Structure 1
Amino acid sequence: MTLDGKHALVTGGGSGIGLAIARALAGAGAEVTITGRRGDVLDAAAGGGLHPLVMDVTDEGAVVAGIAAAVAARGPVQICIPNAGIAEGRALHKTDTAFWRQIMATNLDGAFFTIRECLTGMRQTDWGRTIAISSIAGLKGLKGAAAYSASKHGMIGLIRSLSEDYLGTPLTFNAICPGYVDTEIVTRNAASIAQRAGVSPDEARAMMTSANRHNRLIAPEEVARAVLWLCGPGSQSVNGQTIEIAGGQV
Structure 2
Amino acid sequence: MLDGKHAFITGGGTGIGLAIAQAFAEAGAQVTITGRRQEVLDEVAGPGMTGMAMDVRNEQEIIDTVAAAVAARGPIQICVANAGIAEGKAVHKTSLDFWRNMMATNLDGAFLTIRECLQSMRGTDWGRVITMSSIAGVKGLQGAAAYSASKHGLIGLTRSLAEDYLGKPITFNAICPGYVDTPIVTRNVDSISQRAGISEAAAMDVMVNANRHKRLIEPFEIAAAAMYLVGPGSQSVNGQTLEVAGGQM
Question: Which of the five TM-score ranges fits, normalised by the shorter chain?
Answer: over 0.9
2:80 counterpart residue number = 81
SS in 2 for 1:214: coil
Amino acid at match of 1:114: T
Residues 102-151 of structure 1, C-alpha deviations (whole Å, 9 max, x = no match): 00000000000000000000000000000101000110110000000000
1:182 counterpart residue number = 181
**Cα distance, 1:33 vs. partner?**
0.3
1:234 counterpart residue number = 233
Alignment of 1:111-190 (within 5 A): 111-190=110-189
1:57 counterpart residue number = 56
Tell me how far apart the structure 1 counterparts of residues 195 and 87 of structure 2 sit (CA, whole Å).
Answer: 12
Tell me how far apart the structure 1 counterparts of residues 40 and 87 of structure 2 sit (CA, whole Å).
Answer: 21
- TM-score, normalization: structure 1? 0.99
Tell me how far apart the structure 1 counterparts of residues 80 and 176 of structure 2 sit (CA, whole Å).
Answer: 13
SS in 1 for 2:77: strand
Q: Percent identity?
A: 69
Tell me how far apart the structure 1 counterparts of residues 76 and 88 of structure 2 sit (CA, whole Å).
Answer: 33
Structure 1 residue runs of 4 or more that deviate by more than 3 Å after TM superposition: none
How big is the alpha-carbon RMSD for the aligned residues of Structure 1 and Structure 2?
0.5
> Are the equivalent residues in 1 in contact too, given 2:22–2:46 (CA < 8 A)?
no
**Cα distance, 1:198 vs. partner?**
1.1
Residues 189-234 of structure 1, C-alpha deviations (whole Å, 9 max, x = no match): 0111001111111110011000000000000000000000111110
Residues 72-93 of structure 1, C-alpha deviations (whole Å, 9 max, x = no match): 0001110000000010010011
SS in 1 for 2:172: strand
**Cα distance, 1:174 vs. partner?**
0.1
Amino acid at match of 1:132: T
1:205 counterpart residue number = 204
Tell me how far apart the structure 2 counterparts of residues 195 and 90 of structure 1 sit (CA, whole Å).
Answer: 12
**Cα distance, 1:47 vs. partner?**
2.5
2:44 counterpart residue number = 45
SS in 1 for 2:98: helix
Residues 18-41 of structure 1, C-alpha deviations (whole Å, 9 max, x = no match): 000000000100000000001111
- TM-score, normalization: structure 2? 0.99
